[in-house]
Amino acid sequence: MNRRYEVIWAGIAENDLREIMEYIATDSPINALKILKKIKQKASSLYTLPERGRIVPELKDQAILIYRELIVPPWRIIYRISEKKIYVLSVLDARQNVEDILLRRMIYHD
């Protein structure tokens, strides 16, 4: 029997997503909606088998192994598994310097 998890979006992750959508919508509102749907579906799919996401490489290098990610190119959905809950913590553009962002968010504000 598959274990079911509850997927919870942190406020900062919702803000990340809103900023991404606003940026894309300036050129193409339709494309922004498609991307929003794709990211939300990918994150929602974590309710089963959340371990399928890889450990975040930049944090793994720092021996921090509790954060995982799913990729929706070029975005990275960063999350943490805790008991029967999945916490979506950030949605980041992989073209940015994500290591600095992740370390600042995950280590100092967790």
Q: In order of start, what are the domains of the chain with their CATH numbers?
A: 6-107 (3.30.2310.20)
**pLDDT digit string, tens, across residues 21-78:** 999 999 999 999 999 999 999 999 999 999 999 998 888 888 889 999 999 999 999 9
- The reported pLDDT for the residue numbered 105 is 65
Question: Does the CA dihedral 71-75-81-86 come out positive or negative?
Answer: negative
Distance CA 102, CA 46 (A): 20
**pLDDT digit string, tens, across residues 8-18:** 999 999 999 99
With bands split at pLDDT 50, 70 and 90, how would you rate the model's confidence at 110? very low
3-state helix, strand, coil in the chain (%, to 5): 45, 25, 25
The whole model's pTM is what? 0.86
Helix (H, G, I), strand (E, B) or coil at 66: coil
Residue 67 structure tokens: 């954060």
